[in-house]
Amino acid sequence: MPQQPSEQGQSPLPFLTVTGDTLVATAFRPHDREASTRRNPSHHSPRRHRTPYHRLFAHPGARAFTLGNLIARLPMGMFSVSAVIMIAGSRGSYALAGAVTATGLAATAVVAPWTARLVDRYGQARVAVPATAFALLGDIALVLCVHYGAPDWTLFAAYAATATTPNMGGMSRARWAHLFKGDPAAIHTANSFEQAADELCFMLGPVFAAFLCGAFFPEAGTLVGDVLMMTGVLIFAAQRSTEPPPQQRTEKSEQSEKSKSPVQAAGMPPLLLGFLAMGAVFGSMEVVTLAFADAQGHKSAAGAVLALQAAGSCIAGLLYGALKPAGPAERRYPLCVAAMTVLMTLPLLTASLTGSLLALAGALLVAGMATAPTMVTGMTLVQHRTPEGRLNEGMTLAVTGLLGGIACGSATGGWVVEHLSTTAGYGVPVAAAALALTISAAGAARRAVRRQVVRR
């Protein structure tokens, strides 16, 4: 008699029978989902992803576009430092070098939202590649003008032409939002990773640029940055399967475009003002730390000290992304800004009480840990409040706010250091963080009042 197959969960017994002069043996296995998953490795189970980041990069094409984006983003931390070294070494004026880079920053703040709007309308690949190529022409023109001793005004014109550089971080965040639409946990992890990547690139970029300019020739940092930028953008643009579809425009949408502008979206104005204040925190902290290290006779160590602040933010960003966010982003954002305000007092207290650069480095490492969670939560709110089809523009406006704040914070911090003291200069980032906290608290209170009015 043929044997019956085994019960589920037990080792299957062979099924034996005879046909003609041939003995046939086979085994039956229960066809359950768990067994199917074991036999088919391509069937993804949530238990296979050890961390939220494994799940993120398991998506097809995610690693490829992230690699290209990181290659293109690294030069963002190289260009300013390379330009300062190149111009100051050739013309003997840090004032001229600072003015040229400030002009490029201001031009980027004006042009970047328009570039992002084109990206939303026509697609990332169609806009990012020519926009990057045009920006690199400006960089090459700057190198030639410096090398051949062209008039000073040509440096301003050449560097202003680099303003078409696309916002690579914003485009990467837009891809994550497209791939994981309707999955807040995955988007939270993606935003955390992107913030950590920002910190890493701005931590390594200046060091790499200074090494190239010092080890080879003053123009090396700019030229290598150009090659990395174009290479990364081409790799990123080639990943068409993960690219968000361009926003289709109709006559009706064109007429209502102004009303849908991210600047005018509900809740966006105070959020952008908060980014402006946070930019002042970063800009003032950089200038004051450079001055403090110089006053202590360790100017060459200033870059390493500032890198610790970025390292603290990078570590905190990765940890924050691995955690499940508690509560809505609107509730978490004021808390994050409050934590940043409290931690920004550590460098001020350390500089006032110890005057030690080593102790200050530790304080900056701890203070930086509040930066990434605050920026991640803020960018999440930007994504929530930006009108559909304008995501790149909305995030670029946030970055523009940061750039404007960095410029204002740098100027304010430099003035306080020059007219008061380097220790007093650390009061500027504390004041800027407190301003950001006031703006976020006022916005939260206004939204609470509106909800109560609607309920009544």
What does the DSSP assignment read for 219-285? THHHHHHHHHHHHHHHHHHH-GGGSPPPPP--HHHHHTTTTT-GGGSTTHHHHHHHHHHHHHHHHHH
Q: Which pLDDT score, from 0 to 100, does residue 245 have? A: 85
Q: Which pLDDT score, from 0 to 100, does residue 453 have? A: 63
Question: 46-50, 93-97, 151-155 — which is least confidently predicted?
Answer: 46-50
Encode pLDDT of 379-429 as tens digits.
888 878 887 777 777 777 887 888 778 778 877 887 888 788 888 889 999
2 Cβ neighbours under 8 A, 6+ residues apart: 15, 16, 17
Q: Is the dihedral of CA 52, 231, 390, 386 positive or negative?
A: positive
pLDDT higher than threshold 60 for residue 253:
no
Q: Which pLDDT score, from 0 to 100, does residue 434 have? A: 93
Question: 166-180, 190-204, 219-233, 371-385 — which is least confidently predicted?
Answer: 190-204
Q: Which residue has the higher pLDDT, 117 or 94?
A: 117
Q: Which residue has the higher pLDDT, 163 or 205?
A: 163
Q: Which pLDDT score, from 0 to 100, does residue 28 have? A: 47
Q: Assign 133 a pLDDT band (cuts: 50, 70, 90).
A: very high
Q: Assign 234 a pLDDT band (cuts: 50, 70, 90).
A: very high
Q: Calculate ∠ Cα 102-414-406, nearest 5°.
A: 45
Q: Which pLDDT score, from 0 to 100, does residue 190 have? A: 86
Q: Which pLDDT score, from 0 to 100, does residue 285 have? A: 84
Helices and strands (H and E) in the chain: how many: 20, 2
- Mean of all residue pLDDT scores within the chain: 79
pLDDT higher than threshold 50 for residue 325:
yes
R_g over Cα of the chain: 27
For range 209-229, the mean pLDDT = 87
Instruction: Please count the other Cβ atoms lying within 10 Å of the Cβ belonging to residue 214.
Output: 13
Overall pTM > 0.75: no
Which residue in the block uniquely carries the two structure tokens 């890198």? 307
pLDDT higher than threshold 90 for residue 230:
yes
Q: How far apart are CA 158 and CA 135, in angstroms?
A: 9
Q: Which pLDDT score, from 0 to 100, does residue 123 have? A: 87
Give me the amino acid identity at 361. A
- How far the first Cα of the chain sits from its last, in Å, is 78
pLDDT higher than threshold 70 for residue 119:
yes
Q: How far apart are CA 339 and CA 370, in angstroms?
A: 6
Query: Which of 72-76, 134-138, 281-285, 327-331 has the highest mean predicted lDDT (pLDDT)?
Result: 134-138
Q: Which pLDDT score, from 0 to 100, does residue 454 have? A: 60
- Could you give the count of Cα atoms lying within 13 Å of 27 in the half-sphere of its Cβ? 9
For range 215-244, the mean pLDDT = 90
Encode pLDDT of 89-101 as tens digits.
888 776 677 778 7
Question: 88-97, 108-117, 169-178, 376-385 — which is least confidently predicted?
Answer: 88-97
pLDDT higher than threshold 60 for residue 375:
yes
Q: Assign 185 a pLDDT band (cuts: 50, 70, 90).
A: confident
For range 187-203, the mean pLDDT = 80
pLDDT higher than threshold 80 for residue 4:
no
Share of the chain above pLDDT 70, in %: 82
Helix (H, G, I), strand (E, B) or coil at 27: strand
For range 339-359, the mean pLDDT = 90
Q: Which pLDDT score, from 0 to 100, does residue 235 have? A: 93
Question: Are residues 377 and 273 in contact, defined by beta-carbon separation less than 8 angstroms?
Answer: no
Q: Assign 30 a pLDDT band (cuts: 50, 70, 90).
A: very low
